């Protein structure tokens, strides 16, 4: 897919962040877009922004965990526009908690959204993408699909699964000579709401974590991330790293192998201690 003019793109998680930025960028490049999110208010805001650009988006409130609903959405988008060329499976959530602390329900929720949502979106749209003659699947993994992080085991599991699923899919389509490209995206720290909206299975200070993440770890805007993703699609890249942090982690993990885990655990320990310190000082001064 060399350009997006008059192409039809479907995007999950389009109510904010990267999904919204992708929709706006695609419309600016002449595409027609279908957007979905389970956040009705955020989705409505995105739709309004698109209409201000002169677009007529197909907008659907959608829970990507619902297989039947995702397939119905894909068929509705294809019927509405007459074809679908691009799907971006972007919707995602995270819940903080160690393996021991996390109830099965929290683990299942993250995996259902972050992995099964990708599977549902891929399988639902794949026939339409192939029929278009110029299709592309973009599945959003994460920097956490490159290395493991304490308290993020369920998110790690889902994002590693997205990576494996997507790499296998790409090879299958190459073997079958299908006219569908495949790209797996690994964003680093992006200024989105995923951490702001996160909950916890433990007593984690989610507000503090979000503050540290936003102040120290987010260096890339959603708009820059969207440009990088679309450039990767145009170039047919199988893997797209977003941000210097994602590039650095990818290189470091490949260089160190499993040995990366000890120093990363030490960093995580220091980060946890730094989050606890303000709370302790506040208690002492009360």
* Backbone torsions φ then ψ of 91, nearest 5 degrees: -60, 140
* Backbone torsions φ then ψ of 240, nearest 5 degrees: -125, 120
Whether the CB-CB separation of 115 and 139 falls below 8 Å is answered with: no
Whether the CB-CB separation of 192 and 13 falls below 8 Å is answered with: no
**DSSP bridge pairs for 32:** 8
Q: Which letter, b or e, does each residue of 28-39 get, where b requires 16 or more Cβ atoms within 10 Å of its Cβ?
A: eeebbbbbbbbb
Longest dimension (CA), the chain: 68
Catalytic residue among 4, 38, 155, 160: 155
Alpha-carbon torsion (220, 222, 225, 227), positive or negative? negative
Verify whether residue 104 is a known catalytic residue: no
Which residue numbers are catalytic?
155
């Amino acid at each position: 897919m060399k350009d997006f003019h008059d192409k039809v793109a479907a995007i999950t998680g389009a109510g904010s962040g990267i999904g919204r930025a992708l929709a706006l960028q695609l419309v600016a490049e002449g595409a027609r877009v279908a957007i979905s999110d389970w956040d009705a208010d955020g989705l409505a805001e995105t739709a309004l922004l698109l209409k201000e650009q002169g677009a007529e988006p197909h907008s659907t409130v959608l829970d990507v965990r619902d297989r039947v609903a995702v397939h119905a959405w894909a068929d509705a988008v294809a019927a509405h526009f007459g074809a679908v060329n691009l799907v971006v499976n972007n919707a995602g959530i995270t819940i903080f908690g160690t393996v021991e602390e996390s109830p099965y329900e929290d683990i299942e929720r993250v995996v259902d959204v972050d992995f099964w949502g990708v599977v549902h979106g891929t399988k639902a749209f794949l026939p339409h993408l192939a029929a278009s003659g110029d299709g592309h699947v973009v599945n959003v993994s994460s920097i956490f699909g490159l290395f493991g992080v304490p308290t993020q085991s369920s998110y790690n599991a889902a994002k590693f699964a997205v990576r494996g699923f997507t790499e296998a899919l790409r090879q299958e389509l190459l073997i079958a000579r299908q006219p569908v490209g495949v790209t797996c995206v690994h964003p680093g720290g992006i200024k989105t709401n995923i951490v702001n909206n996160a909950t916890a299975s433990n007593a984690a200070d989610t507000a503090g974590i979000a503050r540290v993440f936003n102040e120290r770890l987010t260096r890339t805007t959603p708009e820059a991330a969207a440009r990088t993703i679309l450039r990767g699609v145009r170039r047919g890249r199988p893997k797209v790293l977003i941000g210097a942090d994602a590039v650095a982690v990818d290189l470091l993990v490949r260089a160190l192998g499993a040995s990366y885990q000890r120093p990363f655990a030490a960093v995580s320990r220091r980060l946890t201690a730094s989050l606890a310190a303000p709370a302790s000082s506040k208690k002492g001064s009360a």
